[in-house]
């Protein structure tokens, strides 16, 4: 009986021959050397010319740039990921600024909307209501136990697009691709999961190509019982994994985080990751406006997961400046679909009560802006073009450098564009968005808008947690991550209008954040590991590099 060798990541090497070409972890395609072709039984199964990885990258990029639409580019690049993961990550890492909008926002949103129609090959795991009673057994079908990071969604609130059910799988896949591309988490240690508890999307329920359960979404006690079985199974099968909640609806996101954050090593990227990256942008803006955070008033449009996460992080900074929690919260205001959130309003949900202040009601954002006179306006509403010309100009009328953050994703949901923010403030705005916008030239000056992309935060946080062996993820880790990110912004980048470092520096950013997070874990005794003497080099040594091994002697 043949005993198959295993790699250091506990992956069984393929048998001889065509199996090597069909396994995306080990496939090198036309880059298999002459010696490997003889040793692995590949002679005759490949064209005779042995290509370098650089030649393969050139072919991929030529095809990529010749595609007629972003969704076609998405299909092509995900197809490469399914065939040859090493080459996929080499392409993404070498061309991150070009690839990020395709494998992540905004194109991934369109991909999720069409997921059943463009589906080619299953990736990750689907855990559905059909699996109740034996979810643990289902999770054990995953081919390796060496999973370091799970990103899971129930598809209820995909970006600003709403309930996409099982078609939301594109988000966990994309997020985990960035864990690897930005922070070097090994791709075999990443597991995307879609939790299919139904969908209320009538279009999908009637679509014969929809890939999920054809039933309405469950809720209440039934949903809680299913999630409890699922989370218990995750803890048993992958006891040391970092678990990321992604794109759950507001009604569940806060509850699930609070329920499980002390049971597993877990966080919610929509709450904590968004809060952290936005805080970094705010701290960068302070370098321009001057003064302290306590000199500012922040008005949010949208009172969901993202807004609350950002607000809570700002409160932490304000308390570091000496304010009490109550005083800090008084500097933060929210407008939701019913207007300004004030104490006199009835039936406020718990997470909104913290930011409900004594004030006369304001029916809409414009009247709230005029009443509150914010120095910072933050959009996390998922409602496109809600920062109108009058609203932005009003904010600009009482601020020399108005801070305008239009953070809703994808691009089609942004509260305003970069061009609008700069034009309506005569170039004075300090602007950031959730999805990318092109540079804007106004009155002879070019402004480079900042993208408050969670990819600046969550990969580095994940790397720091995994490398340190942290048992829990804390809010203070995300504040430390935000400070580390803001500190990396160079003066010349700030002069261009950027509030975030160039994405070209993402590996430097992720490493710096990972070190900050690991230091937090060691300082608060959240790990049993001893701190390495050279923490930077220790973490750097664990980062995956997309290079082909030599399999000729395996």
pLDDT tens digits for range 485-519? 999 999 999 999 999 999 999 999 999 999 999 99
Q: Is 355 labeled as catalytic in the residue annotation?
A: no
445-447/440-442 β-pairing: antiparallel
Candidate list 74, 89, 104, 260, residue with the active-site label: 104
Residue of 528, 515, 413 lying closest to 461 (CA atoms): 515
pLDDT of residue 15: 85
Q: Counting beta carbons within 10 angstroms of the beta carbon of residue 190, is it exposed (0 to 12), middle (13 to 18) or buried (19 or more)?
A: buried
pLDDT of residue 7: 58
Other CB atoms within 10 Å distance of the CB of residue 344: 9
Report the SS3 class of residue 394.
helix
* Residues lower than pLDDT 70 in the chain: 1-10, 554
How much is the pTM?
A: 0.94
Cα distances (Å, whole numbers) of residue 358 to 299, 345, 355, 372: 15, 10, 10, 12
Residue of 376, 386, 534, 553 lying closest to 467 (CA atoms): 534
Residue of 176, 170, 186, 182 lying closest to 25 (CA atoms): 186
Residue 534 C-alpha from the chain's centroid: 29
339-340/430-433 β-pairing: unpaired
Quote the DSSP letter at residue 279.
H
Report the SS3 class of residue 317.
helix
Phi, psi angles (nearest 5°) of residue 335: -115, 130
Quote the DSSP letter at residue 269.
I
**Total length of the chain:** 554
Residue of 489, 474, 458, 475 lying closest to 316 (CA atoms): 475
pLDDT tens digits for range 329-372? 999 999 999 999 999 998 898 889 999 999 999 999 999 999 99
Quote the DSSP letter at residue 22.
T
Residue of 326, 337, 273 lying closest to 302 (CA atoms): 337
CB of 294 within 8 A of CB of 331? yes
The DSSP annotation for 47-78 comes to -SS---HHHHHHHHHHHHHH-SSHHHHHHHHH
Torsion from C-alpha of 204, 209, 212, 217, nearest 10 degrees: 20
pLDDT of residue 427: 96
Q: Is 554 labeled as catalytic in the residue annotation?
A: no
Q: What would you report as the CA-atom Rg of the chain, rounded to the nearest whole angstrom? A: 24
Residue 180 C-alpha from the chain's centroid: 12
Q: Which domains, and CATH codes, for the chain?
A: 100-263 (3.40.50.10380), 271-554 (3.40.50.720)
Spatial separation of the C-alpha atoms in residues 55 and 111, rounded to whole Å: 28
Candidate list 28, 110, 148, 175, residue with the active-site label: 175
Spatial separation of the C-alpha atoms in residues 512 and 509, rounded to whole Å: 5
Torsion from C-alpha of 161, 302, 368, 383, nearest 10 degrees: -10
Spatial separation of the C-alpha atoms in residues 246 and 267, rounded to whole Å: 9
Helix (H) or strand (E) holding 543: none
pLDDT of residue 165: 98
Spatial separation of the C-alpha atoms in residues 335 and 516, rounded to whole Å: 34
Report the SS3 class of residue 455.
helix
């Amino acid at each position: 009986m043949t005993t198959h060798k295993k790699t250091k990541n506990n992956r069984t090497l393929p048998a001889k021959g065509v199996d090597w070409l069909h396994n995306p972890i080990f496939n090198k395609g036309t880059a298999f050397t002459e010696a490997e072709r003889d040793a692995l039984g590949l002679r005759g199964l490949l064209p005779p010319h042995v290509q370098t990885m650089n030649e393969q990258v050139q072919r991929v990029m030529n095809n990529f740039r010749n595609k007629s639409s972003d969704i076609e580019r998405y299909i092509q690049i995900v197809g490469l990921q399914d065939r040859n993961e090493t080459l996929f990550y080499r392409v993404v890492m070498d061309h991150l600024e070009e690839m990020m909008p395709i494998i992540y926002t905004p194109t991934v949103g369109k991909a999720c909307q069409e997921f059943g129609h463009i589906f080619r090959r299953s990736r990750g795991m689907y855990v559905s209501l059909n699996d109740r009673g034996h979810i643990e057994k289902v999770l054990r079908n995953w081919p390796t136990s060496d999973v370091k990071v799970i990103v899971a969604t129930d598809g209820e609130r995909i970006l600003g697009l709403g309930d996409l059910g099982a078609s939301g799988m594109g988000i966990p896949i994309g997020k985990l691709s960035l864990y690897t591309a930005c922070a070097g988490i090994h791709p075999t240690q990443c597991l995307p999961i879609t939790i299919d508890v139904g969908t209320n999307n009538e279009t999908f329920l009637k679509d014969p190509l929809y890939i999920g359960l054809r039933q309405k979404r469950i809720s209440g006690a039934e949903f809680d019982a299913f999630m409890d079985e699922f989370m218990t199974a995750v803890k048993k099968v992958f006891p040391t994994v970092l678990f990321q909640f992604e794109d759950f609806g507001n009604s569940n996101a806060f509850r699930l985080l609070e329920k499980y954050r002390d049971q597993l090593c877990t966080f919610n990227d929509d709450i904590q990751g968004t809060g952290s990256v936005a805080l970094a942008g705010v701290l960068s803006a302070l370098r321009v406006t001057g003064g302290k955070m306590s000199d500012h008033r922040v008005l949010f449009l949208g009172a969901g997961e993202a807004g609350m996460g950002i607000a809570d992080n700002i409160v932490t900074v304000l308390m570091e400046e000496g304010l009490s929690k109550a005083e800090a919260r008084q500097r933060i205001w929210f407008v939701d679909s019913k207007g300004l959130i004030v104490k006199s309003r009835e039936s406020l949900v718990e997470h909104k009560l913290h930011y409900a202040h004594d004030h006369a009601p304001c029916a809409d954002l414009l009247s709230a802006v005029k009443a509150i006179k914010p120095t910072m306006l933050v959009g996390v509403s998922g409602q496109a073009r809600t920062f109108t010309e009058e609203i932005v100009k009003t904010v600009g009328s009482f601020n020399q450098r108005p801070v305008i953050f239009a953070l809703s994703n994808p691009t089609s949901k942004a509260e305003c564009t970069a061009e609008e923010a700069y034009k309506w403030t005569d170039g004075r705005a300090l602007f950031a968005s959730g999805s990318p916008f092109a540079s804007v030239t106004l009155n002879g000056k070019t402004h480079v808008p900042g993208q408050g992309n969670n990819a600046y935060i969550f990969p580095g946080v994940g790397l720091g947690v995994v490398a340190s062996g942290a048992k829990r993820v804390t809010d203070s880790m995300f504040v430390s991550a935000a400070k580390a990110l803001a500190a990396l912004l160079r003066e010349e980048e700030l002069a261009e209008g950027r509030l975030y470092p160039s994405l070209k520096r993402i590996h430097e950013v992720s490493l710096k954040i990972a070190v900050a997070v690991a230091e937090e874990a060691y300082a608060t005794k959240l790990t049993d590991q001893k701190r390495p003497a050279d923490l930077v080099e220790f973490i750097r040594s664990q980062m995956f590099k997309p290079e082909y091994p030599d399999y000729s002697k395996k």
